[in-house]
Amino acid sequence: MRKTLMQRFLNHVATVSVAIAVGTMLVPTIPVMAAAETTDSGTFVAPRTGANLNAPEAAQPYEKENTKKLLPGEPAEPAADTWGYDVKTGIFTHPKQMPDNEGPQPFNGSLPYLDQNQYIKNMKVEAFYPYVAGYGHSWQTSFDLDGRRYLYDYETNQYNLFDITDPKNAKLIKTKWFDSKVEHQFGPFNVKYNKTLDKNIAVQCYEVPRYGKITNKYENADEVKAIRDFQMLRGFRIYEVNGPNWSDWKVLSETPLDGSVYTKGTVQQGSGCQDIPVYSGDKYLFVAGAPDDTYSNTEYKTYLYSGAQLAYDISDPSNPKKLSTWSVPGQRKGEEADYNKNPRAGNKTSWMGSRMPLFIPKTVEQGGKYGYAAMGGLGFYIVDITDPANMKTVAHLDMPMAFTGTEGDNIDVSKIDTTGMVYFSGYPLSDDCHEPYKEIYAIDVRDPLNPKIANVMPRPTPPKDAPFTDYCQRRGSFGPKRSGYAAIQPGIPSQQYMPYSFYNAGVQIFDLKDSSNPTIAGYFVPKMSGEVTGEDGSKYMSDQSDPVHGTFVEWDRNLVWVFSGHGMYVLSTSLLGDPVTTMPKAGLQLDSKAKVTLDSQPFIKDGATLVPIRSIFENLGYTFRWDASMQMVTAKKDGSTIQLHVGNKEAFVNGDKKEMKVVPVNMDGHIYIPLQFIESATGYKSTWNQEQKTIMISTI
């Protein structure tokens, strides 16, 4: 978000605790039962009762030296009687359009305090952790390593690293702040297991600052020059992940999007690499960004670039090869004739271009054909990615105008196989609903040549016991953010339920069983604010405008993580099933037989995938014998004998010596050996499917 640190924190507000902490559990606060009132003069009054008796005051509008002057072409605020809150009906009508604006903008109907209640339906708080990495925004990345699960919550200037193997007892392992004067900024990243290399590989993106260094490109040439001259890697790095902590990872390559060779202190063109890259662990990498300065046709005041979509071959992570760039006619200098066909052209407000990479439901390597692009005010696109070296437009859909705010940011493609729909949304940037509502559009893509808007997701409404009738009254931002980053969420997504972060409306779970009539099946709406600790150890009240800015779903453990301005919540829901609080069990797939559930989870160590030997050998028909005194395994089948020792790379197959990549280990009573040795010892092709958490063995 665009707020300065002074704007983020309400330093003058006293912190009031309204929830009882029990370990990491949070006992829900008492709901408000007293209804809001309207005086004879028509003034809205919200009584302070229950948890709100001592609730902090809500922020007042920022002081303005003089009336804001609109830029040529910038829309004026609509007439006051065409939008706003009706104190008689309790209904808020959003404006049709707005100029760029920020900060608290209360109206007659806004709560004068920060609501300290939480509201919950079909969800349960399993744990709460008072750690915050980003105020108004943060990314999440998760991966499994050495039999444990790790979670990063981070921004460009900081990360928090957690061990979440036991989600009810997560451990903060590392907090790191980045000093921009001497350190390169942090960035969004994705960690995936690379089968060819038998290693975890991370791809991390770096983008020029969106806020802070530039306030208005139309009036401040010096700020524009500062961005153009900013020294950083405008692209991505690839790492070998040899431990949970980023600072221990090995850099394999550094790739600027403009095709230059990166050296520290040089200036590159373009925006760099936007948001979390799309990488499945195989051959292809997809990123978003402006590869050079010609990609510049966009209205947004604080951003110079119009992001495109790029594909790379990273078969050799130390030498990425750019395959192609896909963009929309009108994004580049010299394409103004196409750009000016868009009704947003000249409004000095709209974001035009990508904010995130292509959304890809099925990888190219698995036979996937299409990627889906949210291109801001340029609309929705279906892109043929069959040949990543020649990405082509399949179809385009203009989306309804809804500026200010971000109009096209996220696409959820996880339900496409069952519903034929993808779900497209922008997100709000203004407080107090001082902008058009950002719908979540269900787009029917069953005919890729003719996508069409099928319907919209229902707009969340407060529970009846809330002291407000519309979430616009609750202060801060209201509207959808994202449904989580599909590239980093473990497990297979539910085909019926779609959690979505919703700022002051918490997380909302949409039921898509009837795709023509979606409903809200559950929600968790936390209190509006809480105490947080700054980098210097001082205490502040959290940013009121963005109480929930992100979700992360562990589909394989039926857990929903919610990231608020005052901490992280871990939630379960009966809609997804019983929560799993241990590492999820892996599967074993032998040829086309039914998948077998293993009693332990494979893990990666020292560049090798280690798998539980007993379960595998017994399912392959071997007899298994464990000699604890000698720490030796003996497996026999049809006259073939395999022998190995824990802690020793040497093994024997029918008396012939074979050397394993790493030594077998004994962990929690299970013997693990390198997966490659299964194939070497038995002759059966053996691979690990990280996404499905399944060992695949072919005996044919």
- Mean pLDDT of each 10-residue bin along the chain, 700 residues long: 36 32 38 60 86 92 73 94 94 96 93 96 97 89 92 96 98 95 95 87 95 90 96 97 95 98 93 97 97 98 97 97 98 98 97 98 96 98 98 98 96 95 96 97 98 98 96 96 91 96 98 96 96 78 81 97 96 97 90 85 84 92 95 95 96 95 92 93 89 86
> From CA 165, how far away is CA 557, in angstroms rounded?
11
Predicted model pTM: 0.90
Whether residue 268 contacts residue 260, with contact meaning beta carbons closer than 8 Å, is answered with yes
What pLDDT shows up at residue 65? 52
What pLDDT shows up at residue 544? 73
What pLDDT shows up at residue 64? 66
What pLDDT shows up at residue 102? 85
> From CA 75, how far away is CA 405, in angstroms rounded?
13
8 sits in which H/E element: helix 5-8
Judge residue 134's burial from the number of C-beta atoms within 10 Å of its C-beta, 0-12 exposed, 13-18 middle, 19 or more buried. buried
Whether residue 358 contacts residue 369, with contact meaning beta carbons closer than 8 Å, is answered with no
CB under 8 A, 24+ apart: contacts of 657-663: 661/198, 661/606, 661/607, 661/608, 662/605, 662/606, 662/607, 662/608, 662/610
Residue ranges of alpha helices (H) inside 404-530 are 416-419
Judge residue 518's burial from the number of C-beta atoms within 10 Å of its C-beta, 0-12 exposed, 13-18 middle, 19 or more buried. buried
CA angle 102, 107, 113 (to 5 degrees): 85
Whether residue 25 contacts residue 91, with contact meaning beta carbons closer than 8 Å, is answered with no
> From CA 134, how far away is CA 177, in angstroms rounded?
12
What pLDDT shows up at residue 5? 34
Strands 421-427 and 406-412: antiparallel
Whether residue 118 contacts residue 555, with contact meaning beta carbons closer than 8 Å, is answered with no
Nearest alpha carbon to residue 135 among 566, 427, 569: 566
What pLDDT shows up at residue 541? 78
Q: CB within 8 A of 164, min separation 6: which ones?
A: 142, 149, 150, 151, 170
> From CA 276, how far away is CA 258, in angstroms rounded?
19
What pLDDT shows up at residue 10? 34
What pLDDT shows up at residue 135? 76
Judge residue 41's burial from the number of C-beta atoms within 10 Å of its C-beta, 0-12 exposed, 13-18 middle, 19 or more buried. exposed
Strands 250-256 and 321-326: unpaired
Judged by DSSP in three states, 617 sits in: helix
Whether residue 621 contacts residue 636, with contact meaning beta carbons closer than 8 Å, is answered with no
Judged by DSSP in three states, 217 sits in: coil
What pLDDT shows up at residue 33? 45
